Amino acid sequence: MRRVLIGAAQGFYGDIIEPALDLAERSDVQYLCFDCLAELTLAILQKDRQRDPSLGYTKDVTTTARALLPYVQRKGIKLITNAGGLNPEGARREMIRVAQELGIKGLRIATAVGDDILDRLDELEAAGVDLSDRETGQPLAAIRDRLLFANAYLGARPIVEALRQGADVVITGRTTDTAQFLAPAIYELGWAPDDWDRLAQGLVLGHLMECSGQVTGGNFSGDWWNVPDLDRIGYPLAEVREDGSFVLTKAPGTGGRVSVDTVREQFLYEIHDPRTYVTPDAVADLTTVRIEQEGPERVLVTGARGRPAPPTLKAVMGYRNGFMGSGMVGFSWPKALSKARRAAEVIRKQLDRLGVQYEEYWVDYLGVNSLHGPAAPIPDEDQINEVFLRVSIRTRKREDAARLGRLFPPLVLNGPPGVAMMPFAAFTRELIGLWSTLIPRGLVEERVHVSVEEVA
């Protein structure tokens, strides 16, 4: 039975590169796949692009290229990444630059574009597409003049086409988290576009691998204290078989753990309706999946069932959504929490007296409830040794948001005693809101284009 070896190289923008190097050096991996994009990441990339139009891709693509292109040349490993973000062509130019710097020639670097629909919104609405927000029902007109980016989620097909054209590296923009991992299985194992059960297995593969070390013992809520060598955690390596079944393992000599428990914890991650896991490539039923320990550091996954792909693609848009001002200050024992609460009261009254127009106001007590909010029980206040007060506001104007931070330094002499942090942490930044909608897939996919460029 044919098989293909697919490794997870990155689970988010800014992830470490060492586990990918371990896979390249210590295993027979054929594909290293990077999932770099979250909705938050697109907002970060948009801010980069506002400062410099040549940016808009994840800047760690430079690190990736320097570390792994030698293995692409020497061992024939292929790289698949959605690091292109809002500017796949910019990412390709940077990867070509690094390849030339390293003296590597002949590599074929592909881009898949067409997910960017910002300039097509009027055309889509004229064609009868309802671009209202799926969560609020608001019409697009509510934010039309504040839009910054708009991208549809593409599936694995453009990546498969790039591989068919002989690409050694494939760079995309907005894709689903699963697409990078599903594509090499489709390409290498010859899965048909309507082979729904195998495609569903590939979606499970992508879902399990998308968060890199989260399936090999990282962020594990079981006996995490027994997971060995997290300082050298190994990222997952999948042995994918022609029938769609696959075994998850990791490179020899690396840390972490591959077990039924670590795998099934990631399996449940971000799942809403387990019978209807919707992607552009297929709809998977996850309730039939079996996860079994096959051997030490080897977990076998089988049994997914698939249904036809949906007629629409999800699109996410980012728009200017005001500004956030935030400040933070610490207080020490005794009665640290009482001091922080009194300081928050002082700051709010001062904001109101100054006439600052804010649309939202948050107060967090770091060390008490900043992670769990109202779900966190408050212990005996007198027993809390230290706490940091964080106050944040959302405003329409930057200057209003900036006024918050100026209220913190005077607390040293004018507020409760025991201020425990100088200098004060205060910042102002623009906020980007997110808007999601559905678009008939044919209207997007007709504009998707794959191109391959060879490094000279």
Q: Give tens-digit pLDDT for 327-350.
A: 999 999 999 999 999 999 999 999
For position 379, what pLDDT does the model report? Answer: 72
For position 251, what pLDDT does the model report? Answer: 97
3-state secondary structure of 124: helix
Q: In sequence order, which residues have a C-beta less than 8 Å from that of residue 83 and are 6 or more positions away?
A: 13, 34, 36, 37, 57, 58, 60, 61, 64, 91, 171
Q: What are phi and psi of 86, to 5 degrees?
A: -95, 0
For position 421, what pLDDT does the model report? Answer: 67
For position 383, what pLDDT does the model report? Answer: 78
3-state secondary structure of 149: strand
For position 374, what pLDDT does the model report? Answer: 82
Nearest to 172 by CA among 163, 25, 446: 163
Q: Which range has the top average pLDDT, 29-43, 254-268, 375-389?
A: 254-268
Ordered strands of the 78-81 beta sheet: 290-295, 298-302, 246-250, 236-241, 3-10, 31-34, 78-81, 169-172, 108-113, 449-454
Q: What Rg do the C-alpha atoms of the chain give, in angstroms? A: 25
Class for the domain spanning 317-436: alpha beta
| Every domain range in the chain assigned CATH 3.30.70.1120 | 317-436
Model confidence band, residue 425 (pLDDT cutoffs 50, 70, 90): confident
Q: What average pLDDT does range 241-248 have in this prediction? A: 98
Q: In sequence order, which residues have a C-beta less than 8 Å from that of residue 283 and are 6 or more positions away?
A: 200, 276, 277, 306, 307, 308, 309, 310
| Percent of the residues in the chain that have a pLDDT greater than 90, as a whole number | 91
Average pLDDT, the chain: 95
Model confidence band, residue 279 (pLDDT cutoffs 50, 70, 90): very high
3-state secondary structure of 313: strand
For position 423, what pLDDT does the model report? Answer: 65
Measured CA to CA, the distance from residue 401 to residue 395 in angstroms comes to 6
Measured CA to CA, the distance from residue 230 to residue 245 in angstroms comes to 28
